[in-house]
Amino acid sequence: MYLYNSVSHKKELFVPNNPDLVKMYTCGPTVYHYAHIGNLRSYIMEDVLEKALRYVGYNVKRVMNITDVGHLASDADTGEDKMVKGAKRENKTVMDIARYYTEAFKADCEKLNIKWPDVVEPATNCIDEYIHMVTTLLEKGNAYLAGGNVYFDTSTLEKYYVFNDHDEEDLATGVRDGVEEDTNKKNKNDFVLWFTKSKFEDQALKWDSPWGVGYPGWHIECSCISMKHLGEDLDIHCGGIDNAFPHHTNEIAQSESYLGHKWCNYWFHVHHLNTEGGKMSKSKGEFLTVSLMESKGYDPMVYRLFCLQSHYRRNLVFSWENLENAKIAYDKLIAKIATFKNEGEVEAEALAKLQEKFLNALNGDLNTSLAVTAVYDVLKAKCNDATKLAALADFDKVLSLNMIEAAEKLAKKQAEEEAASADPEIDALVAARTEAKKAKNWAEADRIRDELKARGIEIIDTPQGAKWRRV
């Protein structure tokens, strides 16, 4: 499998550190509000990655954090803690907010068929780990105490901007939105490892530490939680492209300084979901959720298909029109699958050819657009229905679009509707018309059709035979 590595800026053959286990880490949500569908696009694509790795034969251990403390309103260590902000908004405790929105996020994942990671760890569970890492970084000379806070010293690094997307001027005060001058910093790109009450007097969650009562910086959470559950080497680290800087950049800085060696081999970044007005964000008031889509009549699988139709490294533009197009495509797909009869033996050679196309799509940097095309290739394939259903069930191990389940549900509904509207007299007339057509008695066939039309019955000729409905 080839994956694009954000560090090298090229597609690389994926080779895990241990052939028996892929260690995968996902940046989890800051649970101060509902996840918007832009956030969820990243989790959908990370889910596909995990399932694709399992599909090609790897064992995967995936770990995700839940940020319930430390993530400030600005990634530049400024502004209010998002969790405190959420608690004030709803007049609840921070932990009440965290529990509620963690469950809400989990419910959204279930609706979208996103597999819950093997380990999910709230940040507040790992205070001892953060204190240990910060202590070690201080001892090694990679951190310093100033103004009551502990900062990481980026001047101790050979290279800070590992993703090559930024230079030092990007962090100049007043140049980049949200960046405010912190006079405690030795270097403008240093970042906070541990905040004390000197920074935020009203912080809701605080713990004793060697540097005073306070709480961890956002960036250190992922480093420590990953190492706690996956050890000192990591195969794949995932997140949205906006996490690359500064969050992932800072993770690499502190982790590799702490360990003394390379930490993670592959960095997988999902690009933005944009509206027609630009990047979707909660702060801009564009708050599109799974529940909102459902309220408008859209199955969450429609949104999953919408995401899969585009490559994860491309920005995707959301509009209700685009979502409606995805709904039309999904409904047609399920309707077609619903006509397949699971009869006969699976044709092994035909199935293998269909699987090869699908596998090639996954192996080519997780090209879900081509993987969806492989689904449509199945519909057109010259093989029996049993083979087509076997291929679709196999592909859905990765795509998770509920194709077979949705088709069976639709077929059952259609059968029930037909049974409820059955009329032996009309059935007999439709059958008589069919026999007249077979005998090439066109006049009789037309007469029966006209008689039924006068009675409000429309005949629909299909490859499976004549159907009728009341109009």
Does residue 453 lie in a domain region? Answer: yes
pLDDT at position 180, please? 55
CA-CA distance, 194 to 151, in Å (whole number)? 7
pLDDT one-digit tens code per residue, 144-167: 999 889 999 999 999 999 997 544
- What are the beta bridge partners of residue 460? 467
Least confident of 57-66, 204-213, 395-404: 204-213
Final residue of a structural domain among 413, 435, 457 = 413
Q: For residues 353 and 447, state if they share a domain.
A: no
* Nearest CA among 27, 25, 23, 26 for reference residue 58: 23
Q: Point out the domain boundary residue: 270, 303, 325.
A: 270
Q: For residue 235, what is the domain's CATH number?
A: 3.40.50.620
Q: Is there a single domain that holds both residue 19 and residue 36?
A: yes
Note if the bond before 246 is cis, omega within 30 degrees.
yes
| Per-residue three-class SS string for 60-121 | EEEEEEEECCCCEEECCCEEEEHHHHHHHHHCCCHHHHHHHHHHHHHHHHHHCCCCCCCEEE
Which pair of structure tokens corresponds to residue 166? 């930024």
What's the mean per-residue pLDDT of the chain? 90
Inside any domain, residue 324: yes
Same domain, 355 and 445: no
Whether residues 255 and 334 share a domain: the answer is: no
Q: Are residues 89 and 202 in the same domain?
A: yes
Q: What does the block give as tokens for 272?
A: 């933005």
Domain presence at residue 139: yes
Last residue of a domain, one of 221, 238, 270: 270
Q: Please report which confidence band the pLDDT of residue 60 belongs to, taking 50, 70 and 90 as the band edges.
A: very high
- Judged by average pLDDT, the poorest of 180-194, 236-250, 412-426 is 412-426
- DSSP string over 387-456: HHHHHHHHHHHHH---HHHHHHHHHHHHHHHHHHT--HHHHHHHHHHHHHHHTT-HHHHHHHHHHHHHTT
Tell me the per-residue pLDDT of 296-329, one tens digit each, with 9 for 90 and over.
999 999 999 999 999 999 999 999 999 999 999 9
Tokens of 99: 């529990």
CA 352 and chain centroid, separation: 28
> Residue 27: inside a domain, yes or no?
yes
175 and 259, same domain (yes or no): yes
pLDDT over 80 at 55, yes or no: yes
In a domain, 287, yes or no: no
- Is residue 169 over pLDDT 50? no
What is the mean predicted confidence (pLDDT) over 236-247? 94
Cα(163)–Cα(297) distance, integer angstroms: 41
Residues 438 and 346 reside in one and the same domain: no
54 and 149 together in one domain: yes
Are residue 25 and residue 173 in the same domain, yes or no? yes
Per-residue confidence (pLDDT) for residue 356, from 0 to 100: 98
Q: Hey, what are 455's tokens?
A: 């009675």
Q: What is the mean pLDDT of residues 113-123?
A: 97
Residue 28 to residue 114: CA distance in whole angstroms:
13
Domain that holds residue 156: 2-270
Q: Is 206 within the bounds of a domain? A: yes
Q: What share of the chain is helix, strand, coil (3-state, %, to 5)?
A: 50, 20, 35
pLDDT at 177 exceeding the cut of 70:
no
Do 27 and 159 lie in a common domain?
Answer: yes
Q: Are 63 and 225 in contact (CB under 8 A)?
A: yes
Q: Looking at the 3D structure of the chain, how many domains does it have?
A: 3
Tokens (6 digits) for 98? 């965290």
| 371 in the same domain as 430 | no
Is 402 contained in some domain? yes
The band of 28, judged by pLDDT with boundaries at 50, 70 and 90, is very high
Q: Look at residue 179 in the predicted model and tell me its pLDDT.
A: 46
Assess if residue 281 is contained within a domain: no
pLDDT category of residue 85 using cuts at 50, 70 and 90: confident
Mean pLDDT of all residues in 123-129: 96
Same domain, 209 and 356: no
pLDDT classification of 201: cutoffs 50, 70, 90: low
Task: State the CATH number of the domain containing residue 306.
Answer: 1.20.120
